[in-house]
Amino acid sequence: MDTAWFLGILEREGRLLASAAAEAGTDAVVPTCPGWRVRDLLRHTGVVHRWAAAFVADRHVAPRPMDDHPELDGAELVAWYRDSHRRLLETLAGAAPDVECFTFLPGSPSAPAFWARRQAHETAVHRYDAESARGGTPAPTATDFAVDGVDELLRGFHARPRSRVRTASPRVLRVRATDADAVWTVRLSQEPPVTTRGADAEAECELAGPAEELYLALWNRRPVPRISGDPALAALWRDTSAVT
């Protein structure tokens, strides 16, 4: 799973997102993002693409805010999103592997690898959002990519102090992909969750299902395929795990 692999997925997901958005129309409601219409989805994802590309292109080593959303709509907005996606791809593909810039999750071998991975998952989830607005059968998500996305979410995003998934006393949650050799143990407490690969502790609740369905469920796009054990822990995840 190297940078080129993630860039290939990012390229595909961005094209699919733009196509679904164009078919749905920018005024279409996005069922998976309450309160959003397709124009909000395109503006958000395009701004994120440009924000990410700028870190790499300008070698910014400190965080900085995103730009304001453009006041575009309709076909002009779809074209602007396509251009944002293209700029991101070109920036990441042309970056030297040793470029140093701001990143915000642990574990990547380089900054371009981090941003290729992060933007591939950002775009894949929002592609699903655009397809939910369009209707019809969504494009499939490859099992290995979905497993990586679950890993990024659990061991990256929810390892940060800003994760709101907390419990008053220690609890253990299991997450299991049933179509891959992938299982995670999530230890919950008053501190940020601590997630390890493997089933190395007895769990009080397990969230399980095919990797693609689990990936979308953990990002709160679909219901968890299968819940066993204490349903309160599954409800805790649903209610507090939104990434901001």
The Cα 60–Cα 54 span in angstroms is: 8
Say if residue 244's pLDDT is above 80.
no
Say if residue 214's pLDDT is above 90.
yes
130-155 confidence digits (pLDDT tens): 999 999 999 999 999 999 999 999 99
**Which two tokens mark 182?**
């992938």
| Confidence bin at 23 (pLDDT 50/70/90) | very high
Total residues belonging to the chain: 244
Bridge partners of 122, per DSSP, are none
33-50 confidence digits (pLDDT tens): 999 999 999 999 999 999
Q: What is the overall mean pLDDT for the chain?
A: 96
Q: For position 81, what pLDDT does the model report? A: 98
* Contacts of 184-189 spanning 24+ positions with Cβ under 8 A: 184/150, 184/151, 184/154, 184/155, 186/154, 186/158, 188/233, 188/236
Q: For position 47, what pLDDT does the model report? A: 98
The sign one gets for the Cα dihedral 12, 81, 45, 42 is: negative
Region 120-135: mean pLDDT is: 98
Q: For position 91, what pLDDT does the model report? A: 98
Q: Which candidate, 114, 34, 129, 33, places its Cα nearest to that of 81?
A: 129
The Cα 196–Cα 69 span in angstroms is: 37
Q: For position 77, what pLDDT does the model report? A: 98
60-77 confidence digits (pLDDT tens): 999 999 999 999 999 999
Q: Which candidate, 94, 93, 153, places its Cα nearest to that of 121?
A: 153
Helix residue ranges, H only, 37-142: 38-58, 74-94, 111-134
> What is the pTM for the complete model shown?
0.96
| Confidence bin at 99 (pLDDT 50/70/90) | very high
73-92 confidence digits (pLDDT tens): 999 999 999 999 999 999 99
